[in-house]
Homo-oligomer: A and B are copies of this chain.
Amino acid sequence: MKHMIIASTSTIFNSGYLEYILEDLKTHFNNVKTILFIPYARPGGITHEDYTARAQAAFSKISINVVGLHTFNNPEQAILQAEAIFVGGGNTFVLVSQLYKVNAIQTIIEAVNSGTPYLGTSAGSNICGLTMNTTNDMPIVYPPSFKTLGLVPFNINPHYLDPDATSTHMGETRETRIKEFMCYNTQPVVGLREGSWLEVKGSTITLKGRLTARIFEHNKEPYELKPESDISLLK
């Protein structure tokens, strides 16, 4: 049975790393002693070691140990044997490229389907969707595919951002970008605002946090979904 938290972001404004969600993580990772951390997304290009230390600092507060996947000679085995998995944010293109490189995609799907608790933040949440086509990240490396874990039957847009009515910048709004995606693809997109997350328990998917999520479906106007809604029928 799947047991996942798919969070828009690791960090909300004026708060420490994972701080806003730490109490929920305590419940989510109940009885877990050691989490396998996948640091591949490397935010700001930091090293795997430094990124793992950042995760460790947060999880120390709830007495959980963190080991980085980069320290294992056999990543596939490490994933299958992990008590729990956390995929951190950063650049989705870098993350997905590295996951393909070490053959981790199929292995993570297998582990999560067999019940290994999963936490994803930002890029680590984006990859839970069908494809990474709705990432906000800059394509700084070329991955072998945009296909991702497909652990939920839609795409995810983390850090969902409403249009800024005062902006004089002519770049596209997030809504415009996702609507463009919908011109070429039919799967729904869940725009998760910062501070929101999806809780996946088996086949039930619930929106958590205080904010609504913005839902994009093929041939429909985008709409808002309330917290605590069940979105498992979205596909």
- Whether the pair B45, A137 counts as a contact (CB closer than 8 A) is no
- Whether the pair B138, A179 counts as a contact (CB closer than 8 A) is no
Nearest Cβ on chain B to A50's Cβ, whole angstroms: 13
Which parts of A1-46 form the interface with B (CB within 8 Å)? Answer: 9, 11-14, 42-45
A177–B184 Cα distance when bound, in Å, is: 26
* Copies of this chain, count: 2
On chain B, the residues within 8 Å of A94 by CB distance are 180, 184
- Whether the pair A170, B145 counts as a contact (CB closer than 8 A) is no
CB of A140 within 8 A of chain B? Answer: yes
Q: How would residues 158 to 178 of chain A score, 1 for a CB under 8 Å from any chain B CB and 0 otherwise?
A: 010100000011111000111
> Are A139 and B135 also in contact (CB < 8 A) when A9-B170, A44-B176, A159-B170 are?
yes
CB of A116 within 8 A of chain B? Answer: no
Nearest Cβ on chain B to A168's Cβ, whole angstroms: 4
CB of A142 within 8 A of chain B? Answer: yes
User: Could you pull out 21 A-B pairs where Cβ atoms are within 8 angstroms?
Assistant: A14-B168, A42-B183, A43-B172, A43-B180, A44-B176, A45-B183, A91-B180, A94-B180, A132-B139, A133-B140, A133-B142, A136-B138, A136-B171, A137-B177, A138-B181, A139-B139, A140-B180, A140-B183, A140-B184, A159-B170, A170-B194
Q: Given known contacts A45-B183, A159-B171, what 15 new A-B pairs fall within 8 Å (CB)?
A: A11-B170, A12-B170, A13-B169, A13-B170, A14-B168, A44-B179, A44-B180, A91-B180, A133-B141, A135-B139, A138-B180, A139-B139, A140-B184, A141-B184, A169-B194
